[in-house]
Amino acid sequence: MVRRSKCYANSHAEPFWSHFKVKLLDGGHFHDLAEAKLEVSHHIACNNAERRHSALDYLALNQFVIQLNNTSLLCLA
């Protein structure tokens, strides 16, 4: 976390929550807490697997992590 006066405190989280509100909630509601947890975890998993990020050279987060781990393993050898 950064100090309150810094404007970049939530800059990485804002796009995620914006997509979350538009795609998942869309004015609807959940019947119970279990349904809400299931939908939120599914949304996060899909977001990490599909959504491309310009900061990660237009890779999805899961692809970036795999590539990073492979590169790290090569450096150890």
pLDDT digits (tens, 9 = 90+) for 11-23: 666 777 777 777 7
60 close to 49: Cβ distance less than 8 angstroms: yes
Kindly report the number of other CB atoms within 10 A of residue 45's CB atom: 11
So what's the pLDDT on residue 17?
75
φ and ψ at 53, to 5 degrees? Answer: -120, 125
pLDDT tens for each residue of 15-71: 777 777 777 766 677 888 898 889 888 888 887 888 888 888 888 888 999 998 888
Instruction: Check whether 5 has a pLDDT greater than 80.
Output: no
